[in-house]
Structure 1
Amino acid sequence: MGNLNGILAIDGFIENVNEIAIKLKRKIRILEVGAGTGRLTSQVVPRLKCDNLESHFTDIGNAFVLQAKKTFEEYPFMRYGVYDITELPINQGYDEGYFDIILAFNVVHTIPSVEDSLLALRSALNSSGSLYLMESCINDAWSTMSWGVLEGWWGFEDYHIRNSLMLNVNQWENVLNRCGFTTHIYPKAEELIKLSEKMFIIATKNDTIKKANKIKSLSKSTSKVEKMIEAPKKDNNQISKNRVIESTATKLNKLNLEIYDSNNVLNKEKLRNVVYQIWQQTLELDELGFDSNFYDLGGDSILAINLMEKVNKSLAINFEISDIFSYNNINSQTEHFYNILNERNLKEIDKNEELLIEEALKKLKNGEVDLENTLKKLGN
């Protein structure tokens, strides 16, 4: 959730939930779908201050649900269950129209048919319910060429809606409207939309979300983003994408990047520890198996990209996104990185030796070195 738009949108969401929960004469019911490792849950749940609340942590993977029960056991309002967003709620033990809010972080786009999933989610909402979506909206030729090798990238079937796994802003708005939602997308500023990695979308079954008491927090959050985006500009008054990303992205947490011994020899175990830390940060898991598959641990296309960026930044190597298929666990990646770094070190040693020899020959040619005396000293 390092994306600034995401952070501010979550702030607005939490404020709205707390306000609505106070006004309702019953419990407000929240359903989080595709919750996975709990990246979003961990930022939302501790800040929900109301008592009349019932929040459901769900995922299609039971392993994630079991882990969440341990992680969030201190919160009595939490409920847990397996939930498939491609199925109707009534087929999964939930009443139709049961929930006030559905929260989905980067999950709906992964389904073969976005439209079918949105209709199924809509049936889980009550008459004035809202669907809160946080979705990446990177949809261009470069993204497809770079990340199209990832598992699931071409798994979608709704070609009449999209030509890539990711939907752009207009595609989201169109499909949500067709499914009977009124949409409100943040951020609104045109330049900000172009530069934003993630969009925050509120989709409601009617227009009640337009009321001031339901969107004032999000309006404040949006204005904060738009003000902050004004600062970094180029000389031609065009917003600089690199500077915006630099000013809004969360910096990589400090790692113990010591991978060499005191005698400057690459240490494989120290390197493995760095890889382990990178995986922990990317997947937000405390414990990992060295041979566990990246995708089995909840990795997806977005997390794979994050992993690649962290590796390349931390180790100063060129780890390609397609390499995650071949090296999909910590041990295999450690071996791969060890070979890359060793090869680079050997090349640097060879280069240094060549420079030393070249320098020695130059001094010999210029008479700066007495060859006969040098050979005598070496002989002794």
Structure 2
Amino acid sequence: MLNTEDILCKMLFAQLQSIGFFTESKSQPVLENFYGRWFEESQSILERHQFLKRTENGHVPTRSIGTMSELWKEWNEQKSDLLQDNNMKAMVTLVETALKALPDILTGKASATDILFPNSSMDLVEGVYKNNQVADYFNDVLADTLAAYLQERLKQEPEAKIRILEIGAGTGGTSAAVFQKLKAWQTHIKEYCYTDLSKAFLIHAENKYSPDNPYLTYKRFNVEEPASEQHIDPGSYDVVIAANVLHATKNIRQTLRNAKAVLKKNGLLLLNEISDHNIYSHLTFGLLEGWWLYEDPDLRIPGCPGLYPDTWKMVLESEGYRYVSFMAEQSHQLGQQIIAAESNGVVRQKKKTETEEDTGHLQIDAEKDHSQENASLIEQTAQFVKHTLAKSIKLSPERIHEDTTFEKYGIDSILQVNFIRELEKVTGDLPKTILFEHNNTKELVDYLVKEHESKLRTTLLKETKQPAKNEAPLQT
């Protein structure tokens, strides 16, 4: 591992130099948003591995690393051995993919999400969370802990119907192990609510897991917000599962309060969480925005959003969870931890101060002096955008409202790719940042009509695009 860390540090260093860092050039690139924090940690990593030295004028190089072609040759030599190890294969492939694109990611030419989830595919990332010995081991430990809970619960209450909610289920790395274990208890599972912020993951899960697991339901859920505001009944679930997700929130205490609000009194919280910080994670998941959301660094492992086991125990107990236990504690050195805790039933929730209401229908605001043809163009563009968005997220077009942000519909970075690609079939090339700059239907329609009027006229006004009337929503 040490040799591998060394070559990864060399390649990180070389890629940063390729865009102007740690060179004699006085002008350096400006990193926006969370990449400033990512870069600070990169400097710390390079300093620890003695590639950089801190001076009064900043960091200066201390080692010669060779050319980029020499580094790739060295990496490929090590990679051939690493790929023989099923435990490393997925992460090695992922980190190589990220390293190759690193200059483009940092300079805004490419999105890290597009690189790690190419064409909205989960394949690159999925192998990190399952189908390798380490990931499968911890997923099995969590599933076995759930099975032990069910066995004990049904001894006390033989006719019990159990409700389970999984937060941030993602590609289902942990879920798959749990579903396998639940087969023995299937008649006692009333509901397994599979949730995530991304509708792309919900669609992926519905296609993959529904046929064999009839108790599954699917909902978007943001654990940073109260459940009562998200059509999830507070205090209604016997078990809440969260695997490699709670760390990717701004405030871990508030996150635990919101998770607790979903649980019944004496309900069980099961966590699968990272327990250390390594360069592989920094060069892959560290490039995603969620890695740097946290605003309580005093509770986190330095340089990453994870929490050490003793910190988890302290925070859980302070938030009213009892009987905090660490399963497979002897295996924490592998980089993961399984935590079980019971809710004491006392719930603390923020009161909502502002209410956002949808208008209920799409309104097209055309200037009075627009001609009938211009009004028709705006109308057809709006219908085209609604239909395209609805198709992407499996929602009926009638439920798309002009002022509701795309984020609220679950249009995250993964689904953006397909949404923009469909729009480009009519408009031609669009900026990859278009949905950030114009983040609701009305703003997007106004932009498209203004910037791509001629192409819209030759397509939409010639052929009316009817929205699909028979598309069912993902859940009711």
Q: Normalised by the size of structure 2, how large is the TM-score?
A: 0.40
Structure of higher RCO (CA pairs closer than 8 Å, 6+ residues apart): 1
